[in-house]
Each structure stands twice: as C-alpha cells, then as structure tokens.
Amino acid sequence: SQTIHQWPATLVQPVGSPLSLECTVEGTSNPNLYWYRQAAGRGLQLLFYSVGIGQISSEVPQNLSASRPQDRQFILSSKKLLLSDSGFYLCAWTKKGLADNEQFFGPGTRLTVL
Amino acid sequence: GESVGLHLPTLSVQEGDNSIINCAYSNSASDYFIWYKQESGKGPQFIIDIRSNMDKRQGQRVTVLLNKTVKHLSLQIAATQPGDSAVYFCAEKGGETSGSRLTFGEGTQLTVNP
C-alpha cells in the first residue's frame, strides 16, 4: 500500500532562518507531487507541483522553492523565512491519469515563524 | 486565489439530519470535481468525485450533485453523525498539462450536534 510521510510535524523558526521540509512517498512510482499551504481557518493554496524528477512548477511568487531530487521525494525550502510563511504545509501525491482524482495528503507540518 | 474572508462558512446540524454543503466553481473546462474532508490538524481526505459529464453520483451516505448551468456543486450527507464534523472542501481538477492540479474552494465547517 502507498504511504506518504512528512517531517517534521511541527516547527518553530525565527524570521530570517532557512527552512527545509521533506516529503516522501512509498509504494508507488512516478507520482505527481504537490506542496500546499493552509493558513488557519482558510483553504488550501497550491504552492508547487511536480510531474517528474527535477520538474517543478510554481503557482505563486514567493520566497519559497521546491525540489524533487528523487522520484518519490519532494522538498520545500526557503533561504530566509518571513512571518507570513507561518501555516500548515501539506504534501500530496496522485497517480497520473485522467480518472485518478484522489490526491493523497500527508500529515502536514505546522510551521510557526516568530 | 485566496478568499478575502477571515472565517469559513459554517453549517450546524443535528445528529441524524441530512447535511447539504454547497460550492460554486469557476472553470467550466474542469474534467472532474472532488469533495474532501479535513479533520482538525490532519490532511484532507478524499470523499467522492464526479466527472463533468455527470449530474449525480452516490457513495456511502454521500451524494454529489453537479449543476453545470450555474457552476454549482453540492455534497449531501445522509444521517449526519458526530464523526462527520470537519471542514469540507470542493475542488476542481485541471488537465494533465497542468499536472492535474486541484483548485480548492475555501471550505465549509460542518458541526454535528449530538
């Protein structure tokens, strides 16, 4: 069966510090991968998606970046965090295919920037 | 983009009643529409999807209705239970050229009163 992991679960970082969040998927190959951010009481905002190794599409301009060094690994990074980067970060994957609509979400990382 | 509102729409129902959660979508070209359930502190979970060429689809205790004329989607939950309390999001699925990404609505907070 497929599993998606995210770590860390919670993170408190000072403004201006770097960030690295990691997401890995098990039990599948060549998935589409996604990073979302969710502010408290709000919907999900798509930040990045990837259809393959080294292929990253950015949805919103920001001080975050993403990388996919391996097929089932997706990393979200920042060189200098801002207060507005606080939120709940969710990684998700889906199979490729017209009718494969289920995106499987990880447990999320709650980031607080102080 | 994100909603300018600060609070999720809310729906409060009595246990055993039926719930109807509504959603308006924007892209007439979306192939699929999907409903997700998100419990507090967790990632969203897939509930049910519907293809754009359908008007209705039923699952276990849930029914999704699609009205393409007015770009409206609804989720009906029969015999609502306390475990159904969560935030419910509708989502539109983009094509494979866009990484099959999902565009989420802002969500509705469902509270089931015992």
pLDDT per position as a tens digit, A13-37: 999 999 999 999 999 999 999 999 9
Give the Å distances, CA to CA, from A55 to A44, B2, B26, B70: 22, 25, 27, 36
Contact B35, B44 (CB under 8 A): no
Task: Report percent pLDDT > 90 for chain B.
Answer: 68
Nearest Cα residue in chain B from A50: B99
- The H or E element spanning position B77 is strand B72-77
Fold of A3-113: Immunoglobulin-like (2.60.40)
Which amino acid makes up residue A3?
T
- Residue that wins the pLDDT comparison between A64 and B93: A64
- d(CA A51, CA B87) in angstroms, rounded, equals 28
Confidence of residue B38 (pLDDT cuts 50, 70, 90): very high
Q: Would you say A44 and A52 are in contact if contact means Cβ atoms under 8 Å apart?
A: no
pLDDT for res A38: 92
| Average of per-residue pLDDT across B32-52 | 93
Instruction: Please list every residue in chain A whose beta carbon sits closer than 8 Å to the beta carbon of residue B49.
Output: 101-102
Instruction: Please indicate whether, in this complex, the C-beta atoms of B100 and A100 are within 8 angstroms of each other.
Output: yes
Answer whether B105 touches A (CB < 8 Å).
yes
Residue B34 has pLDDT above 50, yes or no: yes
Q: What is the pLDDT of residue A98?
A: 67
Interface size A-B, in CB pairs within 8 Å, comes to: 68
Length of chain A as a residue count: 114
Residue of A nearest to B37 (CA): A105
Model confidence pLDDT, tens digit, residues A57-92: 998 868 999 999 999 999 999 999 999 999 999 999
Mean pLDDT of B86-108: 84
Confidence tier at B6 by pLDDT (50, 70, 90): very low
User: Which chain B residues have a beta carbon less than 8 Å from that of A104?
Assistant: 46
What are the DSSP calls for B14-72, one per residue? ETTS-EEEEEE---TT-SEEEEEEE-TTS--EEEEEEETT-SEEE-SSEEEEEETTTTE
Distance from CA of A49 to the nearest CA of B (A): 7
Q: Other C-beta atoms within 10 Å of A39: how many?
A: 14
Structure-token pair, residue A52: 């393959």
B window 13-52, beta carbon within 8 A of A: 31-32, 34, 41-46, 49, 51
Instruction: Kindly tell me the burial class for residue A83, based on how many C-beta atoms sit within 10 Å of its own C-beta (0-12, 13-18, 19 or more).
Output: exposed
Choose from A101, A104, A110, A112 for mutation: most chain B CBs within 10 A. A101
All residues of chain A having their beta carbon less than 8 Å from the beta carbon of residue B4 are none
User: What is the band of B101 on the pLDDT scale with cuts at 50, 70, 90?
Assistant: confident
**Overall fold of domain B21-113:** Immunoglobulin-like (2.60.40)
Domain boundaries, chain B: 21-113
| Residue B25 clears pLDDT 60, i.e. is over it | yes
Strand partners, A73: A24, A70
Reduced to 3 states (helix: H, G, I; strand: E, B; else coil), residue B76 is strand
Q: Quote the pLDDT of residue A54.
A: 94
Say yes or no to pLDDT of B73 above 80.
yes
Q: Tell me which chain A residues have a C-beta less than 8 angstroms from the C-beta of B46.
A: 101-104
Q: How far is B3 from chain A (nearest CA, A)?
A: 8
